[in-house]
């Protein structure tokens, strides 16, 4: 694992060029990094999509080679880059890890996973059980965007029961992904269920939406929680330290059901 600096960390980005629907060239990657640096971020995990049986399936070795080239072209010495994946959850995810097709976040036990936005995985519990039994800690990317949770926020329990941690997209707080995502993110924050926020950046946003969202987020949660979500907890992930989950919510929710 790389040396960690005490900086604001973006755990979810699509900056690695030419491997998914994010940056296409190194020049575009550098432009995105400078933009995000101007928003206050200095450490980035490059979590390219990995979706089996699609063109988004670059393996670890290929992505390491691209990352090395990107670092060579990076003149801003205050920016630090780490390798990861946003893995679309599938039955053979442990096999993909073993074969080094996919990557955890900076080589740690933390694994960023994505679920269907509009559908539902019937074997979700089985897959999560297998992952956690092998010592991995799933971080669920943008739970506020999943329709099955927007329709019934209490179904968040299905994720929390397997020690999943939650990463919301910063721009959801200002409605970039629709009213449903905005409403659910506010509920998740209110119930203290979010451990991380990240940009999920795919390109440079000319309208400066992110700065507006960061300001709104800080106003919503307060400065102390804002630092926890953008810096303290993400740094713990990169250092493979323990991030507290949502056990208290599960206990309280179980008590209310009786």
Q: What b-and-e string marks burial along 79-113, b requiring 16 or more CB atoms within 10 Å of the CB?
A: bbbbbbbbbbbbeebeebbeeebbbbbbebebbbb
pLDDT, tens only, 184-197 = 999 999 999 999 99
Average pLDDT taken over every residue of the chain:
94
Q: Is the pLDDT of residue 5 over 60?
A: no
Residue 182 confidence (pLDDT): 98
Asked if residue 3 is part of any domain, the answer here is no
pTM for this structure?
Answer: 0.95
Asked if residue 186 is part of any domain, the answer here is yes
Asked if residue 232 is part of any domain, the answer here is yes
Closest CA to 13 of 223, 208, 234: 234
Domain count within the chain: 1
Asked if residue 123 is part of any domain, the answer here is yes
Residue 250 confidence (pLDDT): 87
Q: What confidence category does residue 80 fall into, taking pLDDT thresholds of 50, 70 and 90? A: very high
The whole domain housing 111 covers 9-257
Residue 107 CA: distances (Å) to CA of 8, 48, 250: 19, 14, 29
Asked if residue 154 is part of any domain, the answer here is yes
Asked if residue 1 is part of any domain, the answer here is no
Asked if residue 231 is part of any domain, the answer here is yes
Average pLDDT over residues 52-71: 97
Residue 61's CB: how many other CB atoms inside 10 A?
9
Asked if residue 2 is part of any domain, the answer here is no
CATH number of the domain to which 193 belongs = 3.20.20.140
Helical pair 179-190 and 209-221, crossing angle rounded to 10 deg: 30
């Amino acid at each position: 694992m790389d040396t960690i600096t005490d900086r604001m960390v973006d755990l979810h980005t699509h900056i690695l060029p030419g491997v998914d629907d994010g940056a296409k060239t190194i020049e575009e990657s550098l432009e995105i990094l400078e933009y995000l640096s101007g928003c206050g971020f200095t450490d980035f995990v490059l979590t390219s999509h990995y979706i089996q049986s699609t063109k988004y399936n670059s393996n670890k070795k290929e992505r390491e080679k691209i990352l090395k080239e990107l670092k060579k072209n990076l003149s801003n010495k205050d920016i630090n880059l780490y390798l990861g994946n946003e893995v679309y959850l599938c039955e053979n995810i442990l096999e993909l890890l073993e074969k080094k097709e996919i990557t955890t976040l900076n080589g740690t036990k933390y694994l960023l996973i994505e679920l269907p936005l509009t559908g539902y995985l019937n074997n979700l519990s089985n897959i999560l059980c297998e992952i956690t039994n092998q010592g991995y800690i799933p971080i669920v990317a943008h739970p506020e965007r999943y329709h099955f949770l927007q329709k019934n926020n209490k179904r968040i329990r299905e994720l929390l029961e397997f020690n999943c941690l939650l990463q919301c997209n910063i721009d959801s707080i200002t409605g970039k992904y629709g009213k449903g995502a905005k409403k659910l993110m506010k509920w998740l924050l209110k119930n203290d269920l979010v451990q991380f926020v990240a940009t999920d950046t795919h390109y440079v946003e000319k309208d400066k939406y992110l700065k507006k969202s960061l300001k709104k987020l800080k106003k919503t949660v307060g400065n102390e929680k804002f630092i926890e979500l953008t810096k303290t907890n993400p740094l713990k992930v990169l250092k493979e330290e323990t991030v507290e989950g949502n056990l208290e919510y599960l206990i309280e929710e179980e008590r209310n059901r009786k």
